[in-house]
Every structure is written in structure tokens, then in C-alpha cells.
Amino acid sequence: MELLKEKIKKDGIILSENILKVDSFLNHQVDPFLMKEIGFEFAKYFKNKKITKVFTIESSGIAPALMTALELNVPLVILKKQTSQILNNDFYQTKVKSFTKNTEYNLTLSKKYISENDSILIIDDFLANGEASLGAINLVNQANASVSGIGIVIEKSFQPGRQKLDLLRYDVYSLARIKHMSKEKIEFID
């Protein structure tokens, strides 16, 4: 998606060879026009997949996921990051390792918001090692529902997440795929 790539080039801050900061339009301040275009792009790609719900992980995935859900005319479910384990039967949980914080959290979903007939589209802001996406997939699997697609705003293709999801044969659509980045420049896969 050209508009997104231009925005990353103009306003993204490369903190290290592994971490891109996009606080000015995605993670802290949010560009609503860009989010609307992102929602349109994901909805166009996944429109024939009979998606019943969009899932995302709090909090940075919410803006692009909400616009996608609006375009697809389905509810958005926000998976929660809990520090503690919930020991009752009303929730699905799985442990996820945070890429940016180097800690673990319990990704949590209320059983009220998923059923086995659901066809889920997972949307997230970044794909790095794939832990967050695999955690979301795990929760959907616990509910015996199906993951019909994964939409990623920014994929760092030099990290292993994409390959892991491809090996599991998920339909992954990333709007910007970064081949390589350094303090001097950022290269995309076309």
C-alpha cells in the first residue's frame, strides 16, 4: 500500500535494526484518514472469506481493526493482555511473549464473543516473531472456530513471524513488508 509506505518513510523512526517507531500515526497519535484507507484495503482483500468477526490485540491493533470491521460490517473483538491468569471457565487464555517489552502476558478472550461457527480475521499493527498472531490463533482454535485470514499493517519480513504463519498455511496479507532497515534507510518488498 503506497500511502502507508510513504508515511513510514516520512514519519517512521528507526530505533534499531529491529524496532520501528510509528507513534505519530499508528501507535500513539493516530491518523484517521490512513486508518480508513487501511480498513478499506483489508476489507477488499478479505471480502470473499465470509468473515464474521475481526479480532485484534489491545491496544495498537484497535484503530486499523475497527476500520476493517466497519468496512466488512462485522463486530470487532479486542483480545486483552492480562497480567494474571483467570481461573474460571468463562474465558480462553494463552501465554504470549511481548516483542517490545520482553515480558509475558495472558492473551484473554471471553467465551461470550466467539462461537464455533465464527470465521475470524485477525488484524495487528506489526508482525515480528509471530507470537501475538499465534496467540490469537490459539484462542480461536480453543473455541473450535476458524481463522480465515491475518491482516498485518507493517510486516518486518526479516523476522521469523511471516514464515511461521506461511508454514501453517494461513492467508496473510501485509500492507507494508519491510525487507531490511537500518538507521540510514528502509527497504520494502514490492
Interface positions, 74-113, toward ligand 5GP (CB under 6 A): 99-100
d(CA 46, CA 150): 9
Site for ligand 5GP contains 125 (CB under 6 A): yes
Interface positions, 143-162, toward ligand 5GP (CB under 6 A): 161
d(CA 40, CA 68): 6
Nearer to ligand 5GP by Cβ, of 52 and 174: the residue is 174
Nearer to ligand 5GP by Cβ, of 82 and 100: the residue is 100
Angle at the Cα of 82 (from 77 to 87), degrees rounded to 5? 100
DSSP state of 74: -
Residue 5-34 contact track with ligand 5GP, rule CB under 6 A, x = bound: --------------xxxx----x-------
Nearer to ligand 5GP by Cβ, of 16 and 85: the residue is 16
On whether the CB atoms of residues 147 and 168 are closer than 8 A, the answer is: no
d(CA 68, CA 124): 11
Binding residues (CB under 6 A) for ligand 5GP: these are: 19-22, 27, 57, 60, 99-100, 124-132, 161
